[in-house]
Amino acid sequence: MAEAVQGVPELTKAERMKVPRHAMPAQEPLARIRNFAEVALGYAAESALKEAQRCLQCANPPCVKGCPVAIDIPAFVELIRKGDFAGSLAKIQETNTLPAICGRVCPQEEQCEIVCVLAKKYEPVAIGRLERFVADWERVRGEVATPQLAAPSGHRVAVVGSGPAGLACAAELARFGHEVTIFEALHKPGGVLVYGIPEFRLPKEIVAFEIDNLTRMGVTLRSNFVIGKTATVQELFHEHGFDAVFLGTGAGLPYFLGVPGENYIGVLSANEFLTRVNLMKAFDFPRTDTPVRTGRRVAVVGSGNVAMDCLRVAKRLGAEEVVCVYRRTRNESPARKEELEHAEEEAIDFRWLSAPLAILGNEEGFVTGMRIQRMELGEPDASGRRRPVPIAGSEYEIALDTVVMGIGQGPNPLATRSTPGLELNRHGNIVADEKTLMTSIPGVFAGGDIVTGAATVILAMGAGKQAAVGIHEWLARLARGEVTKPAPV
């Protein structure tokens, strides 16, 4: 049994507004740039109780509508206030199977917290920090209960990819009583949660724990299995005996800029840089076998969350000068505010309004620098952001040892190219029905970055859940003989 925690009293509405939002402790910047341990340290129980006290318990809560998976936020926060942390976690798990992850990496400031009624005059309830708190509290105590599962349906579903979309889809399907196998191409499950997001933002132990929960729910994991190579989608139906397939293969194709010099040694995609460090533990070389080299001066091109991760990893690997090169300004940066602030605290040199013109190298083929064009903001473009335009004669060069391209990823084509009849858009993303997420092939569903292009963990999870509902309904129709599995090609 969990130890009993004393709740805190309910405050009047007026009193609640007077309580300031509780800060979350974090490692000091000077200390943390020398280690890979988690930066944000999470609430202590006392802060969590007091933060929970601030919630206005709105009758018609806007935060729930802001959440891509519609967590009953007031209910879980109220259970924290009462000291019922296990009940609070169970409430979250009704709609979200990965709370320790979402509490850390969701952009709450754009979703649930931005619409919090308190945010109009004061600061919003720290919903993300509270979600993280209960998940961590119960995990540390080993008290996490396995969700209830429906009776076995007799249907088998293949989930392709073990990133956020696949994990969320698998959990939901298991709850519906379906037999689920997740196929993962890499040797460790978790997708971008494992190869992409660094340890200091999302400890891998937490990802492993959440995945263990899935196996406890009866989900089978097949690592080292590439759909499109080890078996095709067609073969999943006709040789492996699955009744439906979910494709959550993500955005696993790195983009390069197309400027001269991109093949010099020392120019890496963000995917390569992060995979070497996060999945292959290159920060521990030579105790581990996969190397990574940054040299003294590193530039990361781009300013999204992936670029922030690369900048901060480079700093932790010991690079002295770490430069962010971005053609727009801080205001247009797609990174989360918290990530930008963390990077700024870690003394990253931000070069806003700077566009790379060329990567420079030497005879041996190694990177030596970058030629940069200064920009200014012009008229708004199609994205609504002001378009950066070059300032004539403003080119300059910086000396570098490593360049990391953090300008985005496209859809990995291995699964899609090997699936005849699967409709793709002009970017190579899968076209899926907006409601059911079924693709042009009956019984094949898709969601997450492979459909939307690179987005966030929580949007992918939302899509995984949505597809699970679509799959569940389709399987019911399959059982009634109203639909049939795709015919062998």
Q: How far apart are CA 456 and CA 438, in angstroms?
A: 21
Residues found in the chain: 489
- Beta carbons of 50 and 64 less than 8 angstroms apart: no
Q: How far apart are CA 386 and CA 379, in angstroms?
A: 5
- Beta carbons of 92 and 132 less than 8 angstroms apart: no
Q: For other proteins, give the closer residue by CB, 88 or 412.
A: 412
What is the β-pairing status of strands 367-380 and 386-390?
antiparallel
Rounded to a whole number of angstroms, the minimum distance from the CB of residue 152 to other proteins is: 26
- Beta carbons of 373 and 269 less than 8 angstroms apart: no
Rounded to a whole number of angstroms, the minimum distance from the CB of residue 272 to other proteins is: 4
Rounded to a whole number of angstroms, the minimum distance from the CB of residue 408 to other proteins is: 13
Q: For other proteins, give the closer residue by CB, 89 or 292.
A: 292
Rounded to a whole number of angstroms, the minimum distance from the CB of residue 156 to other proteins is: 17
DSSP secondary structure letter of residue 345:
H
Q: For other proteins, give the closer residue by CB, 164 or 252.
A: 252
DSSP secondary structure letter of residue 451:
H
For residue 348, give the nearest of 303, 390, 394 by alpha carbon.
303
**Tokens representing 111?**
């979703």
For residue 452, give the nearest of 98, 184, 164 by alpha carbon.
164
Rounded to a whole number of angstroms, the minimum distance from the CB of residue 224 to other proteins is: 5
Q: For other proteins, give the closer residue by CB, 32 or 297.
A: 297
Q: For other proteins, give the closer residue by CB, 252 or 448.
A: 252
Rounded to a whole number of angstroms, the minimum distance from the CB of residue 18 to other proteins is: 50
**Tokens representing 326?**
């971005």
Rounded to a whole number of angstroms, the minimum distance from the CB of residue 151 to other proteins is: 31
Q: For other proteins, give the closer residue by CB, 99 or 250.
A: 250
For residue 95, give the nearest of 461, 489, 483 by alpha carbon.
461
Q: How far apart are CA 110 and CA 421, in angstroms?
A: 37
Rounded to a whole number of angstroms, the minimum distance from the CB of residue 339 to other proteins is: 22
> What phi, psi does 382 have (nearest 5°)?
-60, -30
Alpha helices, DSSP H, located in 94-191: 99-105, 127-140, 164-175
Q: For other proteins, give the closer residue by CB, 223 or 484.
A: 223
What's the alpha-carbon Rg for the chain, to the nearest Å? 23
The distance from CA 64 to its chain's CA centroid, rounded to whole angstroms, is 20
Residues at the site binding other proteins, with contacts judged by CB under 8 A: 185-187, 195, 223-226, 229-231, 252-254, 256, 262-263, 265-266, 268-269, 271-272, 275-276, 280-281, 285-291, 293, 364-365, 412-414
Q: For other proteins, give the closer residue by CB, 20 or 365.
A: 365
- Beta carbons of 409 and 252 less than 8 angstroms apart: yes
> What phi, psi does 472 have (nearest 5°)?
-60, -45
Rounded to a whole number of angstroms, the minimum distance from the CB of residue 276 to other proteins is: 6
CB atoms within 10 A of CB 459: 20
The distance from CA 331 to its chain's CA centroid, rounded to whole angstroms, is 22
**Tokens representing 214?**
């899935």
What is the β-pairing status of strands 321-325 and 297-301?
parallel
Q: How far apart are CA 111 and CA 66, in angstroms?
A: 5
Q: For other proteins, give the closer residue by CB, 111 or 402.
A: 402
Q: How far apart are CA 317 and CA 33, in angstroms?
A: 8
Q: For other proteins, give the closer residue by CB, 122 or 264.
A: 264
Q: For other proteins, give the closer residue by CB, 88 or 275.
A: 275
Rounded to a whole number of angstroms, the minimum distance from the CB of residue 243 to other proteins is: 20
Q: For other proteins, give the closer residue by CB, 123 or 262.
A: 262
Q: How far apart are CA 225 and CA 230, in angstroms?
A: 6
Rounded to a whole number of angstroms, the minimum distance from the CB of residue 135 to other proteins is: 27
**Tokens representing 375?**
């920009």
**Tokens representing 169?**
């889809």
Rounded to a whole number of angstroms, the minimum distance from the CB of residue 248 to other proteins is: 15
Alpha helices, DSSP H, located in 229-304: 233-238, 270-274
Q: For other proteins, give the closer residue by CB, 137 or 195.
A: 195
Rounded to a whole number of angstroms, the minimum distance from the CB of residue 457 to other proteins is: 17
